[in-house]
């Protein structure tokens, strides 16, 4: 069984293990390709033998990732429509994201 952790960032939870590449909500601050990012909100860690669960977070545990790129997701259309009343509104939205490669679980 591969070692994994569950981290919280951007209001969402992600299951990560070493070598994974994840798309997360845009982080505040400026990052360049190769910068290290530390996620200290670790909810759960499993090393294959035993599981440690935080309440709500595990103290002195970190997940370290490397910043790869910043981008925008595909466009989604937000449509509001009411039948028989000539009411139609269409708006588009592209969510910003950061792509991070997980380097280690400590």
- Structure pTM? 0.84
* Integer Cα distance of 6 and 42 in angstroms: 6
Angle subtended at Cα 97 by Cα 74 and Cα 90, rounded to the nearest 5 degrees? 40
Q: Residue 106: pLDDT above 90?
A: no
Per the structure block, which two tokens stand in for 67? 């910043």
Ranges of each domain in the chain: 4-105
List of residues 6+ apart from 105 with CB closer than 8 A: 3, 4, 5, 16, 17, 18, 45, 61, 63, 64
Q: What pLDDT is stored for residue 2 in this prediction?
A: 86
Q: What share of the chain has pLDDT > 70, as a percent?
A: 99
Strand partners, 82: 87
């Amino acid at each position: 069984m591969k070692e994994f952790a569950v981290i919280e960032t951007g209001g969402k939870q992600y299951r990560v293990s070493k070598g994974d590449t994840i798309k997360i909500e845009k982080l505040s601050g400026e990052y360049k390709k190769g910068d290290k990012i530390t996620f200290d909100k670790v909810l759960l860690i499993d090393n294959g033998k035993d599981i440690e669960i935080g309440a709500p977070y595990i103290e002195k545990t970190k997940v370290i990732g490397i910043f790869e790129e910043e981008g925008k997701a595909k466009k989604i259309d937000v449509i509001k429509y009411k039948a028989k009343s000539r009411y139609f509104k269409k708006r588009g939205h592209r969510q910003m994201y950061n792509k991070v490669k997980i380097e280690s679980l400590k």
